[in-house]
Structures are given as structure tokens and as C-alpha cells.
Amino acid sequence: MQSRITAISAYTPGRIVPNSYFETIVDTSDEWIQTRTGVIERRFTAEDEYTTHLCFKALRNLLQDNPEISVSDVDFIIVATSTPDHSVPSVASQVQNEFNIPGCGTLDVASACAGFVYGLILAKGLIAAGTHKKILVFGAENLSRFTDFSNRNLCILFGDAAGLALVEQSAENKIFDSLSGTDGSMGKELYRSSLSTLINNVPVIADARTHQNGRLVFKWVVQTISENLIKLADKNGLNLAAIDWIILHSANLRILEAISKNIGYPLERMPQSIKYFGNTSSASIPLAWNIALMDGRIKKGDKILLMGFGGGMTFAGLMVEW
Ligand code: COA
């Protein structure tokens, strides 16, 4: 069975947080933040707003923009998130309840910033197996709840958002080959602890806040993603010049610039969501995709490489045609 992505949507919360806010709480500057990360502002959830609410609003946006689409026959919901409202029940099951979707499988995926692309790969596989036909894949994060606002290395990076794709069985195939990989030995370089105080038997700061070795993560990402973008295009029988758009996880504008330079692919053809939304982890790819659809850059028939990467360290890439 073949599949395609039939709709993309997103939602970002209303509270806009400019760089100047961080100048009031830590020793930093708008100039430092923009120079090192490219971030100008980000959005944070309201007190009573959680990842489930971001998903509900993103799906409502999708239905409003595509009145011909109904979710009553959706048969599986995947939510990529590292910031679920609860460990149990899943965010996906709360989406099922909110939209009253009968008899629907639900699954949360915990692959940090790579989660949305992992979700698309799973959706393609379920449809290819012939067991499912219509699948919602979300990337949604409430990262501001887990940020240590006294850590100037990290608090300036993150934002909250949700994005989603509708993946459907299709007469024509528009979701092509994927690849994925992990280096679990890098686990403690980007983490948020839960029950244990050890990662790979090494003690870590177990305060349920995000921690990272920024320099090491930067280097790993630039090298791994540059190599694997070329491999992904090759696996799909194309060279990068034949790809219309590359949408990477918007981790940091400097990472996107370094990858663009490494692989000789123009930055202008790499839609991003980092400047006005910060690093929104699993939500950043559908968010950037939605922006590029709304402003008319991405057109029907365009070939797109997607690649998410992050905590694990892990990555997942996929080629699609819009
Ligand atoms: N404002 C001002 N100075 C800051 C600062 C801030 N917000 N954060 C750190 N600094 C300081 C450091 O204390 C350090 O000062 P020192 O030289 O006196 O010790 C200096 O800036 C350089 O710190 P460093 O951590 O080496 O900066 P960097 O150039 O590596 O930039 C990141 C930090 C986090 C922006 C960068 O490492 C990065 O983007 N890494 C990847 C992060 C990422 O994308 N993670 C998600 C992947 S999914």
C-alpha cells in the first residue's frame, strides 16, 4: 500500500518572548543570542496550557484550513513529544478523546527532536502493511516547563509549539525511502532525567531539567546530518541538486548554516522555524513546513528531504513529495 501526506498544520502559543526577556533574568544579550543561535523570539505556553492543548489547537487549525478533511475515520494517532502532560495516559490518547475518534490506535513517540520524522516513518510503515489508512502524526512540545531559567546556555534556546501531518493511503506513492541511526553513547550529552540518576552508568544532574554539552552536540549534529543527507538523497536515487527543499530540525540557525555549507546546498532552500519560534524540538519541522506552505514557497510536486536529530543522540530522515 502506498501513502502520501495530504495536509500539514501547526499552532504556536500566544505568549511571545523576545530575547530582551532573558537580559532581565540571566547575564546575556540579544546580540549574543542572535549571533550564536539565530533566535529573535520564541513562544511559551500559558500557565494552564500543556502539550495536549497545543495538539488540539494544531488539529483544529488543520480542520479549519481544510474543511473537506474529516478525522472521524482516522485509524491511528502518533504524537512525537518529550514533554507529555503525563507519562500515562499518552498525549495521543487525549487527542483521540478530544476529537471523539472511534476505534483508533494511539502512540506517543519519545525520540526528542527526531520524533516527528520517526512518526512519519512509522505511519508510512503502518499504511504499507495494509493495516491502517489514515494517520495523524504530531510533533508537540511544552519545553518551557522543563527549562532551567537560571542556565543561560540553555534557557535562551527553546520554545513551545505543535505541528502535524495527515498521512493517508494513496493511489500514488509520495513518501519514499527513509533512514535513521543512533549513537547511544552520546546519551549524556543532551538529556533530561526522570527516574534514574545514571545514563550509560555515568551519574548525571538528575533535576528533571534539560542539560546539554552544546559544543559536542553542535559538532555531532553537523557531521552526522551532513553525511546522512547525502546518503538519503542517494538512497532515493537523486543528488541534492534535484531536491527542492531540505527541512531539518530547527535546532540553531548556525547548525543549519554549517550543514548548508558542508553539503553545498543553499540555505534559502532550507525552510526554518528557529528565528521566530526558537528550538521547538519535535514541532520544529512541521512548523517550518507549514510556514513555507503558507507563504507559497513549497508547491505541489516539490521533492523534500526531512531530517530530525537530537537527544539520544538519534536522527531520522525521509524523502517526500508534496
Ligand atoms: N549569553 C552570553 N554568554 C553565554 C551564554 C548566553 N546566553 N551562554 C553561554 N555563554 C558564554 C559561556 O559561558 C562561555 O563563556 P566563557 O568563554 O567565558 O566560558 C561562552 O559564552 C561560550 O560558551 P559555549 O557554550 O562554548 O558557546 P557556544 O558558542 O558553543 O554556543 C550554544 C552555545 C548552546 C548556542 C551552542 O553550543 C549550540 O548551539 N549547540 C547546539 C545546541 C543545540 O542545537 N541543541 C539541540 C540539538 S537537537
pLDDT tens figures, 130-171: 999 999 999 999 999 999 999 999 999 999 999 999 999 999
Q: Please tell me the pTM assigned to this model.
A: 0.96
**If you search the block for the grid coordinates 528565528, which residue do you land on?**
275
Cβ of residue 250 lying under 6 Å from some atom of ligand 1: no
Nearest protein CA to atom 30 of ligand 1, as residue? 215
User: Which cell numbers in the block locate residue 161?
Assistant: 509549539
Cβ of residue 215 lying under 6 Å from some atom of ligand 1: yes
233, 239 Cβ separation under 8 angstroms? yes
pLDDT of 103 strictly over 90: no
Q: Active-site residue numbers? A: 113, 249, 279
Q: Looking at residues 293-321, what average pLDDT do you find?
A: 97
pLDDT digits (tens, 9 = 90+) for 272-282: 999 999 999 99
pLDDT digits (tens, 9 = 90+) for 162-209: 999 999 999 999 999 999 999 999 999 999 999 999 999 999 999 999
Q: Strand 76-80 relative to strand 134-141: parallel, antiparallel, unpaired?
A: parallel
Assign 120 to helix, strand or coil: helix
- Ligand 1 centre to CA of 159 (Å) is 17
pLDDT of 96 strictly over 90: yes
Asked if residue 89 has a cis previous peptide bond (ω within 30° of 0), the answer is yes
Question: What domains can you pick out in the chain, each with its CATH number?
Answer: 2-173 (3.40.47.10), 176-321 (3.40.47.10)
pLDDT digits (tens, 9 = 90+) for 46-68: 999 999 999 999 999 999 999 99
Cβ of residue 34 lying under 6 Å from some atom of ligand 1: no
Cβ of residue 113 lying under 6 Å from some atom of ligand 1: yes
